[in-house]
Amino acid sequence: MNKFVVNGGKPLNGEVTISGAKNAAVAIIPGVILCDEPCRIENIPNISDVALIGTILKEMGAIVKRVNKSTLDIDPRHIRTHEATTDLVRGMRASYYLLGALLGRYGKAKVLLPGGCNFGVRPIDQHLKGFEALGCDHEILDGAIDIKCREGKLKGNNIYLDVVSVGTTINLMLAAVKAEGLTVIENCAKEPHVVDLANFLNSMGADVRGAGTDVIKIRGVEYLHGVTYSIIPDQIEAGTYMAAAAATRGRVTVKNITPKHLDSITAKLREIGCDIEEFDEAVTVDARGKNLTRCNIKTMPHPGFPTDCQPQFVAMLTSCNGTSIINENVWDNRYQYISELQRMDAKISVEGRLAIIEGGTPLKPAQVKATDLRAGAAMIIAALTADGTTVISNIHFIERGYEEVVEKFQQLGADIKKVYDPEGELAESV
């Protein structure tokens, strides 16, 4: 029943500090299961997905203590089960990383099929093909994937991924860290959080080489020691605030980032006419007084333009003059949110994987909803550009991946607040 109420029409100005990467955190935290000692994980985003995976580990027996808002101490030595079958597992897509971690530790795993944002088929056939190559059999029972090693221990092997998949790459890395011998994964995903997971595993004593390239080689080890590890900044959160600065014609400095991770995003912002200034760990987007114009975007695996920034840029491009064309090349059905932007009088049409945006017409305030995590961020950006009051519902999607999103936008001068609306009265006022 919580909603965001946004009074738009004001440019964003100021500084915002980016949190740790959600996509790295939800892989690294399950990765602690593989460790033979306690670990401290720093720069963790304070979001619902992280709280959820922490709770799942607790229910499995791990000792999880929050040191402060961005630091967790995790002791996996008390985990006594290879099963994660609580309903909490259904609450997030990344819970399937428990498969690789539990397989790596126990040689068997039983995990409920994951949930998360629903914007297309999320098959795990690639994951299962990889686990089979490592010596496992699987079956699906009562909505759970039950995987067991044929010989009690994983065996290294050569694995070629039919499609570039972040989830498969991460899951096979987790499984192979303690497998016997050498595992070679080809056609790997290269995303920054894949590299971050490899760095985390190596800091514990794993032997993972080639992360960030097409081929990752993992030589199994028997023991992993505890570490203190800091997660990378969130490139998608950074891209969201950068798009919002452009959409509102403001000037925003985004801090605590890795500029190299944002190359595809800054390139498009420059293309439409923004001034971009990069620093060692920050970037400034200046769109004040700019006559921003159209661009075309094709989402691709890293280092291409990230699909997770596509909705935010669509919302931003509605404010830019000319016709922009988006080619969503990663997910089949990521345009569910377009109908919500159309409620705000956005001139957007969808033809298969293409979204055609007739920009330059101001959006109108409306009652809209978040259809998934990144689409929810797009609704905020759209609301910030509309002159009037927009009410956004289904904000639990947004809070899955954005830490203190209201407070951060308020720091930039946005008129946004979170309200409790059990009777749906706000809808009648818009």
- 123 annotated ligand binder: yes
Which tokens belong to 328? Answer: 């969503």
Q: pLDDT by residue (tens digit) across 46-102?
A: 999 999 999 999 999 999 999 999 999 999 999 999 999 888 888 787 889 999 999
| DSSP per position, 15-30 | EEE--B-HHHHHHHHH
- Cβ-Cβ contacts under 8 Å for 202 (sequence gap 6 or more): 208
pLDDT tier, 151 (very low <50, low <70, confident <90, very high otherwise): confident
- For residue 210, is it left (φ>0), alpha (ψ between -120 and 50) or beta? left
How far from 249 is each of 7, 46, 120, 165, CA to CA, in Å?
16, 29, 33, 35
Q: pLDDT by residue (tens digit) across 130-149?
A: 999 999 999 988 888 999 99
- 126 annotated ligand binder: yes
Which of 243, 223, 245, 226 is closest to 235 using CA atoms?
243
Q: What ranges in 166-262 are assigned the alpha helix state H?
A: 166-176, 192-203, 235-247
- Structural domains of the chain in order of their starting residue, each with its CATH number: 2-19+233-429 (3.65.10.10), 22-220 (3.65.10.10)
Flag the least confident range among 117-131, 222-236, 334-348: 117-131
- 122 annotated ligand binder: yes
Judged by DSSP in three states, 171 sits in helix
CA–CA separation, 130 vs 183, rounded Å? 10
The stretch 352-373 carries a mean pLDDT of 96
CA–CA separation, 33 vs 29, rounded Å? 8
pLDDT tier, 309 (very low <50, low <70, confident <90, very high otherwise): very high
Asked if 82 contacts 108 with a C-beta cutoff of 8 angstroms, the reply is: yes
Q: What is the CA angle 94-100-41, rounded to 5?
A: 65
- 36 annotated ligand binder: no
- 110 annotated ligand binder: no
In the chain, the percentage of residues whose pLDDT exceeds 90 is 88
- 77 annotated ligand binder: no
pLDDT tier, 429 (very low <50, low <70, confident <90, very high otherwise): low
- 129 annotated ligand binder: no
Which tokens belong to 345? Answer: 């009088």
Active site residues: 117
Judged by DSSP in three states, 419 sits in strand
C-alpha distance across the termini of the chain, in Å:
16
- 76 annotated ligand binder: no
- 330 annotated ligand binder: yes
Asked if the model's pLDDT at residue 408 lies above 50, the reply is: yes
- 125 annotated ligand binder: yes
Which of 255, 254, 283 is closest to 270 using CA atoms?
283
Q: Is 213 exposed, middle or buried (0-12, 13-18, 19+ CB in 10 A)?
A: exposed
Q: pLDDT by residue (tens digit) across 248-265?
A: 999 999 999 999 999 999
Asked if the model's pLDDT at residue 119 lies above 90, the reply is: no
CA–CA separation, 127 vs 6, rounded Å? 41
**Residue 428: predicted pLDDT:** 54
Which tokens belong to 65? Answer: 């203590």
CA–CA separation, 248 vs 289, rounded Å? 10
Asked if the model's pLDDT at residue 398 lies above 60, the reply is: yes
CA–CA separation, 53 vs 92, rounded Å? 8
Which tokens belong to 382? Answer: 């759209």
pLDDT higher for 430 or 362? Answer: 362
Between strands 108-112 and 83-84, the pairing is: parallel
